[in-house]
Amino acid sequence: MRVAIIGIGAIAGMHARALRDIPGIELVAATCRTEAKGQQFAEQHGCRWYADPTRMLRREKPDAVTIATPSGAHLDAALKAIRKDIHVICEKPLEITTRRIDRMIAAADKAGVALGAIFPQRFNPVIQAVQAAAAAGRFGDLAVAASAVPWWRDDAYYGPGRWQGTLALDGGGALMNQSIHGVDALQWIAGATMPGLAPETNPVESVVAFTAVKAHDPAQLEVEDTCVAALKLKNGGLGQLLAATSLYPGQLRRFTFGGRGGTVEIEEEQLITWQFRDALPDDDATRDRFGGASSTSGGAADPMAIDYSCHTRNFKSFFDAVAAGRKPSLDGREGRKAVAIIEACYKSARTGRVVSLKD
C-alpha cells in the first residue's frame, strides 16, 4: 500500500518511522509549504516532497494518507484526499469540533473510503488489558473512571508563531491537545463495561468542568492550561478528568477504573493495582508483565518523548482493515467521541452549568 503524509510538523517524523515498520507499506511522499524542511524530511525518510498537497495527491495517487497538519486544518486536508477516493487516517483530534468531524465522516461515507483516527493509547498493551477486563465484566457495574494528565509545557511551547494554544488551530488547550488521549481511553474502557450500549453511543452522559490559565501568560494564551471535570456516565457511574500543562516539571499520566468487582490503576505504562474480587489464574502474569516502572515519560514535559510503537500498531490496524475491506475498529465515529466529551467540557466551563452530551 502506497501512503503519503499531509503536513510535515513534529509528529510527521513519528508517522514516517511508524509506517516504515509495517511490512507492505511504502511512504511515497509528504507535503508542507517550506522547501528546506520538506526536502530534509524527504531525504531522511526516502520519499518525495511536494509544496502543494493537491499536486501530491494528483501525481502520486497514494492508496492512503496520514494527516499530520495542525488540528484545525485536518478537515481541509481530509477532504482533499477523500474527494480523490483516498483512504484517510488522521492524527488526534480528528478535528477541533464535532461539526467539522461530521463533515469528514459524511464525505468518507459518500466516497466509500475509510476514515481512521489516531489514538495510540488504544494500542498500548496495558490499556488493552484493562479494556479487555472491562469487556469481560470484571469491574462489575463501573463506579469510577478517572484520567489525570498532570503535564508541563514551557513558555516556548506556546510562543509566537506556534499554532499550539490558538483557538483556530488547536481548538483548546491542555484538554483538547494533551489530555485527549486520556479522555478517549477513559470513554473506551468505560463503554466496554456497558454491554447494552449501542456502538456509536458515547458512554458519557453529562459533564461539568472548570478551566483556567495558571502557569502561562493569559494575555498570550487563548486556551486553558488547566482543566478539571466531573463526568456522569450512562450507567450512573462517575468520572474525573485532570488536564494540565501547568504542573512543573510534569508527571506521568494516570488512570483509575473501579467498581464492586475490582480496581485497576495505571501510571503511564506501569500497572500499579490489578485487584479483582473474582481472581483469575492469569492475574499474576498480568501484574508481572505490566508491573515494572514505565520506560517513557509519555510526553509529561517533552511532547516528543513518546514511544512510536503504539502509532505503528494503530496504523497497522487501520491498513489491515482497509486491505480486508472492513471498517476500521478506530474509525471516524469512534474518533469523534473524545472530541464530543471535550466540547461539552468547554461549554460547561463557559456557561457554568452541567452540559449533557445530547446538547
Tell me, yes or no, whether 43 and 188 share the same domain. no
- The reply to whether 147 falls in a domain is yes
- The reply to whether 292 falls in a domain is yes
Tell me, yes or no, whether 199 and 291 share the same domain. yes
- The reply to whether 311 falls in a domain is no
- The reply to whether 313 falls in a domain is no
Residue 158 main-chain phi, psi, to 5 deg: -105, 25
115-118 and 87-91 beta bridge pairing: parallel
Tell me, yes or no, whether 17 and 143 share the same domain. no
Would you say 331 and 117 are in contact if contact means Cβ atoms under 8 Å apart? yes
Tell me, yes or no, whether 81 and 141 share the same domain. no
Residue 153 main-chain phi, psi, to 5 deg: -130, 130
- pTM for the model stands at 0.96
For 131-136, the CB contacts below 8 A with 24+ separation are: 131/188, 131/189, 131/192, 133/262, 133/264, 133/276, 134/189, 134/190, 134/192, 134/193, 134/257, 135/192, 135/193
Tell me, yes or no, whether 102 and 186 share the same domain. no
Q: Which of 113, 146, 171 is the last residue of a domain?
A: 113
- The residue behind cell 452540559 is 355
Helix, strand or coil, per DSSP, at residue 107:
helix
Tell me, yes or no, whether 236 and 350 share the same domain. yes
Tell me, yes or no, whether 197 and 337 share the same domain. yes
Q: Which of 113, 146, 179 is the last residue of a domain?
A: 113
Buried b (16+ CB within 10 A) or exposed e, 312-321: bbbbbbbbeb
- The reply to whether 310 falls in a domain is no
Q: Is 348 exposed, middle or buried (0-12, 13-18, 19+ CB in 10 A)?
A: buried
Tell me, yes or no, whether 215 and 341 share the same domain. yes
- Can you give the pLDDT of all 359 residues of the chain as single tens digits? 999 999 998 899 999 999 999 999 999 999 999 999 999 999 999 999 999 999 999 999 999 999 999 999 999 999 999 999 999 999 999 999 999 999 999 999 999 999 999 999 999 999 999 999 999 999 999 999 999 999 999 999 999 999 999 999 999 999 999 999 999 999 999 999 999 999 999 999 999 999 999 999 998 899 999 999 999 999 999 999 999 999 999 999 999 999 999 999 999 999 999 999 999 999 999 999 999 887 776 778 777 777 899 999 999 999 999 999 999 999 999 999 999 999 999 999 999 999 999 85
Bridge partners of residue 88, in order along the sequence: 65, 115
- Which domain does 44 fall in, by range? 2-113
Q: Which of 254, 96, 119 is nearest to 175 (CA)?
A: 96
Tell me, yes or no, whether 142 and 261 share the same domain. yes
Count: domains in the chain: 2
Tell me, yes or no, whether 197 and 281 share the same domain. yes
Tell me, yes or no, whether 85 and 136 share the same domain. no
User: What does the alpha-carbon distance between residue 102 and residue 110 come to, in Å, rounded to a whole number?
Assistant: 12
Q: Which of 113, 147, 170 is the last residue of a domain?
A: 113
User: What does the alpha-carbon distance between residue 27 and residue 46 come to, in Å, rounded to a whole number?
Assistant: 8
CATH no. for residue 83?
3.40.50.720
CATH no. for residue 217?
3.30.360.10
- The reply to whether 315 falls in a domain is no
Return the DSSP state at 117.
Answer: E
C-alpha angle 203/207/210, rounded to 5°?
145
| Lookup: cell for 314 | 494503530
- The reply to whether 20 falls in a domain is yes
Residue 230 main-chain phi, psi, to 5 deg: -115, 140
User: What does the alpha-carbon distance between residue 62 and residue 5 come to, in Å, rounded to a whole number?
Assistant: 10
Query: Which phi-psi region, left, alpha or beta, contains residue 284 (left: φ > 0; alpha: ψ -120 to 50)?
Result: alpha
User: What does the alpha-carbon distance between residue 72 and residue 211 come to, in Å, rounded to a whole number?
Assistant: 21
Tell me, yes or no, whether 241 and 261 share the same domain. yes
Q: Is 92 exposed, middle or buried (0-12, 13-18, 19+ CB in 10 A)?
A: buried
